[in-house]
Amino acid sequence: MAAPKVSVVIPVYNEEAVLPALFARLYPALDALAATYEVIFVNDGSADRSAALLREQFELRPDATRVILFNGNFGQHLAIIAGFEASRGERVVTLDADLQNPPEEIAKLLAKMDEGHDYVGTVRLERQDTAFRRSASRMMNAVRERITRIRMTDQGCMLRAYSRDIVDAINSCREVNTFVPALAYTFAQRPTEIEVAHEERAAGESKYSLYSLVRLNFDLVTAFSVMPLQLFSLSGIAIALLSLTFVIFLAIRRVAVGPEAEGLFTLFGIAFFLIGITLFGIGLLGEYVGRIYEQVRQRPRYLVQAVLEHKDAVSESPKQRQMS
């Protein structure tokens, strides 16, 4: 039998509280599609009962469920990529496990793809997150819009649909730190966006601390633009020229008016400003160098502990059956 029409990829990290509700809504929503499908759960090293719940669900619906169990916590985006590499559908939909993206909206994404789009992004209609998260992501959206060629309204929403071509292109990338929706966009030929509903997290807590959000946004920026580096060296030149003029001015003033002491603190202020800029610059360089280091090490990007799948699943392709 042929590959399924739709693969749904869901990263799962400590989501035991929400998984039963997710299963209860996801499968009926997909059954209503009238298309063959497979759901690929990627357990990103959860420390709770998530893996056990996924195993139970796999046993309930082995025909349409596949589970990849990671050996540790490699992050949401690498979990999605592992799902992509395992996926066989003509179209691949990504979704968060926490029910913030209603599974009922998948039908809308697929309908939009029927119009000939290979990438369907989404904009959350009434985003149900804290005011801090909302304003921070507005800011990051604006930064990304300016410094990359990626055009999307709401980069944070993971409910998205991609064509097989885009998923294959992503699978051929070897980068370690990445941001899937943006990477996919760079390969899209006819991208579009639709509005989708957004709900509060059904249960459990956000898996992103402030620290990991900052890391994620550095991934987004550094993976798609070297503009921060360029901007830094340009402003470095401007600042150096300005301080040179200032030094010349002070030298002339010393000869003409005599030495000054009152301006000492201004000078301190300026010096600290420059030190600040320098430190930021070194840190920014470090961000890129760190990523180069990770890339050249060529370590495996993630480690799979086990894969739960049915060898005679409906969706298995004849070629794969011969191989197994």
Residues at the contact surface with ligand UDP, assessed by CB under 6 A? 11-13, 15, 44, 73, 75-76, 79, 96-98, 100, 206-208
For residue 185, count CB atoms less than 10 angstroms from its CB and return exposed for 0-12, middle for 13-18, buried for 19 or more.
buried
For residue 119, the partner it binds in ligand UDP, Mg ion, none, with Cβ less than 5 to 8 A by kind, is none
Nearer to ligand UDP, 3 or 42 (CB): 42
**What size, in residues, is the chain?**
324
Q: How far is the CB of 96 from ligand UDP (least distance, A)?
A: 4
Please state, as a whole number, how many other Cβ atoms lie within 10 Å of the Cβ of residue 282. Answer: 11
Q: How many residues bind Mg ion (CB under 5 A)?
A: 3
User: Integer distance in angstroms from the first to the last C-alpha of the chain?
Assistant: 15
For residue 186, the partner it binds in ligand UDP, Mg ion, none, with Cβ less than 5 to 8 A by kind, is none
Q: Which stretch binds Mg ion (CB under 5 A): 49-57, 97-105, 108-116, 248-256?
A: 97-105
Nearer to Mg ion, 199 or 294 (CB): 199
Q: Are 40 and 86 in contact (CB under 8 A)?
A: yes
Please state, as a whole number, how many other Cβ atoms lie within 10 Å of the Cβ of residue 296. Answer: 8
Nearer to ligand UDP, 66 or 207 (CB): 207
Helices (DSSP H) in 148-263: which residue ranges?
164-171, 180-187, 210-224, 227-256
Q: Out of 44, 98, 118, 219, which residue is the one contacting Mg ion (CB under 5 A)?
A: 98
Q: How far is the CB of 313 from Mg ion (least distance, A)?
A: 29
Cα separation, 88 vs 74, in Å, equals 22
Q: How far is the CB of 100 from Mg ion (least distance, A)?
A: 4
Sign of CA dihedral 234, 240, 244, 250: positive
Using the rule CB under 5 A, is 100 a contact of Mg ion? yes
Q: Are 321 and 201 in contact (CB under 8 A)?
A: no
Using the rule CB under 5 A, is 316 a contact of Mg ion? no
